Structure 1
Amino acid sequence: MTADVWLPIPADEIEGLPEGPNYRFWNGGPDFPADPADCAYYVVPYMKPSDVGVRPLPRMTSVEVVQTLSAGIDHVQPGLKHLRPGVRLCNARGVHEASTAELTLTLILASLRGIPDFVRAQDRGAWLGGFRPALADKTVLIVGYGSIGAAIEDRLAPFELARVARVARSARTTARGPVHPLTDLPALLPEADVVVLSTPLTDATRGLVDGAFLARMKDGALLVNVARGPVVDTKALLAEVETGRITAALDVTDPEPLPADHPLWRAPGVLVTPHVGGPTSAFMPRAKRLLVDQLTRFVNREPLRNVILTTGA
């Protein structure tokens, strides 16, 4: 194989890449490393704006695979219309589960135990005691039970929860218990103390957490979003948190980045982190392992992992 493979990580920093392709390094800079028409396998630059990642797609007339290094694919979908039929789009399943699940637990525990209040009190030199909610004995609802949702439940297991409820696009059974369809949300929401959003952004989930969804959450419940900002209707969320009826911990927002003057920054009971679920020290070794495995399969014409869709299908 002599086709080009575009990587956002220099090839000499990835041990075990198969021989054959011409590896080209491109991490979203203004100049392309080679003619996009010669690219057969395109790994989209990580944590770049959508317009950067899709920029070469109209000229990639020979591309066979578009590979993201993110769990979501919404940032590349606008460019898929430029590709010929038969191009496989693969995501980074297996790369972000550990980091995102860790952050989810961090957000839940920090919010329930009042860590932001303690940090602010420390800045003032104030000793802020008192009782706080525990995660123990709570019911947690995970909305979006894919590999990240399952990883979140794995890490919830030691916390003596009363119950974990799981929701995905369609019903199924897992070793941990049943997964409910989205249509069961109205019945499940009033029972949940913590609602975790880990669903991909699709037409079905955009605006899923609207006024009606939030109104069904119990008083005092915590909403945690580690999915995508537009899954939540920001205006509807603000209306709820500003009353103090529910709280929220958000790693993703709509808009994003959140402008400095946005009311979410100062809304009571809201903890915001700047979309840091994936970028940790765990990312690079897992991303490299994924690329070595996928490209070895590609060179040997073996089935690829994580194929989300095929253009024209």
Structure 2
Amino acid sequence: MGNSAVRILVSDEVDDKVGHGILGELSGVELELYDPNSDELTLSQRRASILLPPYRGSHRPIRLLSQLPELKMVQLLSAGADEWASDVPGSVVLATARGAHAGPVSEWVLSAVLAQLRQWPALVRFQDKGVWAHRKFEADTLAGKRVLIVGAGAIGSEVARRLAVFGARSTLVANHARHGVYGSNEIPGIVPGHSIVVITAPLTDKTRNMVDSDFLSAMDDGAILVNVGRGQIVDTDALVSELSSGRLRAALDVTDPEPLPSDHPLWTQEGAVISPHSARTVPGTNQLCYDVAAAQIAEWMKGEQPSNSVVHG
């Protein structure tokens, strides 16, 4: 990449400070801090070759792209690139932090599934009323359950690995079939027979509204839908209809719309557990993201195509 230092634009926010040290260990780089809420970059900031959006609210600096004439790479700290893909010029490398979120997000999936199976939402409601609920609820076990995981990347694969510890059997689906993994075109025929469906796929034109009324109606009675992908993958109205009937349950870390308005019917569905897009939000995840980001940048600086680069533009 030449003899001059590569200037990296990195957020000055608290959650991103851990990244300053990680990126600073790269040879041949110069860090330039910026405020992701700023509308204008300084002359020095505009000379950056690499832009890192912040760990939280990563979409905010999209408006700054036009102020970076020397930009060569956008390195995200998220697992998906859907928020940036249409705005980053095709000549600029766009890479994600795929792999960094697998541990925290898969842990959330396990906690959400177990909470639903063991009826913790109902138990908390009984507790709020001071009711000793012995024999007033029906718990279930994860052992022996069949789980369909739509999205066979780092997160989906880690979910499958952790489910196996509990004696559950996973069926993995990816965009294209490969050994041990079904192709997405096979989904209609394999949804039935699974007690749990986990969505870890990225948002693309192909996955948008993929979980529609037909998909949901094919799920077994009493099945649980878990979404840690993107809210737009699921038809919200169709899901509300199934939840209202009591036929399905859900655990959602992402919704459509998002944030979910306070008067939205999803909030009042007793069969739904909702978290505010926070599956990855545990101590240390930001460091994991910056570790992956640094590795991607190092690959690019060696003249290689980063392994997490995505097609865009």
Gaps of 5+ in 2: none
2: distance between equivalents of 1:49 and 1:262? 25
Asked if 1:43 is matched to 2:45, the reply is no
Asked if 1:25 is matched to 2:33, the reply is yes
Q: Decide which of 108, 112, 116 is 1:107's aligned counterpart.
A: 112
Quote the residue 2:167 is aligned against: 160
Question: Number of residues paired by the alignment?
Answer: 302
Quote the residue 1:7 is aligned against: 10
1: distance between equivalents of 2:299 and 2:167? 42
Deviates more, 1:288-297 or 1:246-255: 288-297
Quote the residue 1:222 is aligned against: 224
Task: Tell me by how many angstroms 1:49 deviates.
Answer: 6.1
| Contact 2:149–2:173 (8 Å) recurs in 1 | yes
Percent pairwise identity: 36
Quote the residue 1:93 is aligned against: 98
| Contact 2:231–2:255 (8 Å) recurs in 1 | yes
1: distance between equivalents of 2:304 and 2:173? 33
- Using structure 2 for the length normalisation, give the TM-score: 0.90
Query: For residues 12 and 226 of structure 1, do their structure 2 counterparts lie closer, same or farther at Cα, with a shift above 3 Å needed?
Result: closer
TM alignment of 1:1-313, pairs within 5 A: 1-8=4-11, 9-10=16-17, 12-14=20-22, 17-32=25-40, 34-35=42-43, 37-48=46-57, 50=59, 52-80=60-88, 83=89, 85-130=90-135, 131-161=138-168, 163-173=169-179, 178-309=180-311, 311=313
AA aligned opposite 1:170: H
Residues 134-175 of structure 1, C-alpha deviations (whole Å, 9 max, x = no match): 1111110001111110010111011112x31111111001xx
AA aligned opposite 2:79: A
Residues 189-216 of structure 1, C-alpha deviations (whole Å, 9 max, x = no match): 1111000000000000000011111111
| Contact 2:196–2:224 (8 Å) recurs in 1 | yes
AA aligned opposite 1:165: T
AA aligned opposite 2:107: E
2: distance between equivalents of 1:215 and 1:180? 20
Gaps of 5+ in 1: none
Query: For residues 32 and 186 of structure 1, do their structure 2 counterparts lie closer, same or farther at Cα, with a shift above 3 Å needed?
Result: same
Task: Tell me by how many angstroms 1:16 deviates.
Answer: 5.1
2: distance between equivalents of 1:91 and 1:180? 24
AA aligned opposite 2:234: V
The alignment's C-alpha RMSD in Å is 1.9
2: distance between equivalents of 1:46 and 1:27? 12
Runs of 4+ in 1 over 6 A off after TM superposition: none
SS at match of 1:160: coil
SS at match of 2:310: strand
AA aligned opposite 1:47: R
| Contact 2:20–2:31 (8 Å) recurs in 1 | no
1: distance between equivalents of 2:167 and 2:225? 19
AA aligned opposite 2:75: Q
1: distance between equivalents of 2:283 and 2:149? 25
